[in-house]
Amino acid sequence: MHHSPRPRQTVTRLVDGRICAYEPTADATGVLAPAAVFPPSPADDVTGRAVASDLRHAYYTTLDAAVCVTADGTEVWRSPFEPRSDRRHGHRPGCMLSSDQRVLWVYRPDAMAGRDRPDQWVALDAGTGAVVAQADLDTVGHGGLQLPHPADGHVLLDVGEGQDGSVVYRASLTGSRMDLVAYPWDDRCLIALAPDGRQFITIDHGQADVAVHTYPDGAVRFTLPVDAFGHDPDEICMEWSGGYLTQDTIVVTLAGETEDEQEWFRHYRVDTLSGRVRAAFDAHTDNPYDIEPLGDGSWLTTDPSGHPVRWTDA
C-alpha cells in the first residue's frame, strides 16, 4: 500500500486569533506545536487562511479582503473586495495557495455579500496581491472548499449553496485567463482529492451515499449507499466529512440517533481499489467533522487548546 511521506501542504489552525502553521513529520504524534505563528491585523476577522510552505508568509481572507502578512504581523499586501459589504453573515470568503506557492486562489461569495454581482473566483499573485485572473461563477454560495491538484496546476472548488445544493468547478491558469470547467451536477459535495490527484470523493448533498470519481473527468468509479455500511438508510445518513487516509483508503462518516434521541456517529475505512467497506475504527474525536486525514496513514483531530492532534493506527 502506498503511503505519502508527509502531508501535501502545511496544516493551519486559527488559535486564539492567530494563524498557526504545523508541519507534521513522519514520527510526530499527539498534540502538535506550531512551526510558525502569524498575527492577523487587529481589526480583521479571519474567514479563511493559508501559510506558505517556507513559513515566511501567511495569507487570509476577511469578509472584505485578502491579506498577506509576515510572522511579525507586518502587512505585505491587502487586496480589497469592492464594494465593501454591509452584510456580516451568510458569506465566508476563503483562500488557498497553489501547489507551486505562486498563486493565492480566493473564493468570493459576492452574491450573498450583497455586491450585486455573481460569485467570484480570483487568482492573486501571492507575492504582490495583484489579480492574475478572475471569473464569474453561476452560484449564490455561502462558502467554498478549494483543493489544489498536486501535479497539474489545477484547482477544485466546491461552492456550498445551502439547501440549494453544491456546485463543483475545476480551473487552471493560462497567462491572465482562468480556464473554468463546471462538473455536471449540483447535488454532490466535494470532500477530498487523492494524494496522487488521480481521483476524488464526493458525498451526496442529501447524505445518501459516497462516490469515488476519476480525475479530471469526474466519472464515477463506484458509489456506496448507506446500506453498504450495514445501516438503515431511512434512519442513518452520511456526514459531509472524511478524506484520504492513504492513497487507497478513504474515511467515511455515518451518523444517526439512538432511541432516546442521542446523536452518534461512526467512522469507516473504504478500500478505493476494491470498493470494499472495512470495519469501523476509533478516530479519537467526539465531532464528526473534526477529522482531517493526511493521506500518509495518519489523521488530525483538535485538542481543547485548539491545536491539532496527530493520530496513527499504531
Q: Are residues 255 and 166 in the same domain?
A: no
Please report, as a single letter, which amino acid is at residue 203: I
Contact 246, 1 (CB under 8 A): yes
For residue 25, the model assigns a pLDDT of 80
Measured at the alpha carbon of residue 195, what is the angle toward residues 193 and 196, in degrees to the nearest 5? Answer: 100
CA atoms within 13 A on the CB side of 120: 21
Q: Is 162 helix (H, G, I), strand (E, B) or coil?
A: helix
In a shared domain, residues 53 and 173: yes
What average pLDDT is seen over the chain? 94
- Examine the pLDDT at 4 and tell me if it is beyond 50: no
The tally of domains found in the chain comes to 2
Residue 312 sits in a domain whose CATH number is 2.130.10.10
Whether residue 152 is contained in a domain is answered as yes
pTM of structure: 0.94
Domain end among 186, 215, 244: 186
Contacts of 314 (CB under 8 A, 6+ apart): none
**115 C-beta neighbours (distance < 10 Å), count:** 19
Quick one: 143 and 51 in the same domain? yes
- Is 57 in the same domain as 126? yes
Based on the fold, state whether residues 205 and 182 are members of the same structural domain: no
pLDDT (tens digit per residue) in 79-115: 999 999 999 999 999 999 999 999 999 999 999 999 9
Q: 205-231 pLDDT, tens per residue? A: 999 999 999 999 999 999 999 999 999
Peptide bond into 304 cis (omega under 30): no
Q: Cα 94 to chain center, whole Å?
A: 10
Same domain, 129 and 56: yes
Among 186, 221, 247, which residue terminates a domain?
Answer: 186
**267 and 223 in a common domain:** yes
Residue that finishes a domain, picked among 118, 151, 186: 186
Q: Is residue 48 part of a domain?
A: yes
CATH number at residue 57: 2.40.128.630
The one-character DSSP state at 248 is T
Q: How confident is the model at residue 9 (pLDDT cuts 50, 70, 90)?
A: low
Task: Decide if pLDDT at 5 tops 70.
Answer: no
Is 8 among the domain residues?
no
Q: Which tens digits make up the pLDDT trace of 136-152?
A: 999 999 999 999 999 99
Residue 160 lies in a domain: yes
Same-domain check for residues 235 and 159: no
Residues 6+ apart with CB under 8 A from 61: 46, 47, 48, 49, 67, 93, 94, 95, 106
Identify whether the C-beta of residue 127 lies closer than 8 Å to the C-beta of residue 142. Answer: no
Shared domain for 178 and 199, answered yes or no, is no
- pLDDT tens string 178-204: 999 999 999 999 999 999 999 999 999
What range does the domain containing 221 cover? Answer: 187-314
71 part of a folded domain: yes
Segment 268-294 mean pLDDT:
95
10: in domain: no
**Do 208 and 181 reside in the same domain of the chain?**
no
Q: Are 205 and 165 members of one domain?
A: no
- Same domain, residue pair 178 and 198: no
Residue 4 maps to a domain? no
Q: pLDDT digits over 40-56, tens only?
A: 999 999 999 999 999 99
- 266 in a structural domain: yes
Here the cell at position 20 is 498557526
pLDDT band of residue 8 (cuts 50, 70, 90) is very low
- The pair phi, psi for residue 228, each rounded to 5°, is -65, -20
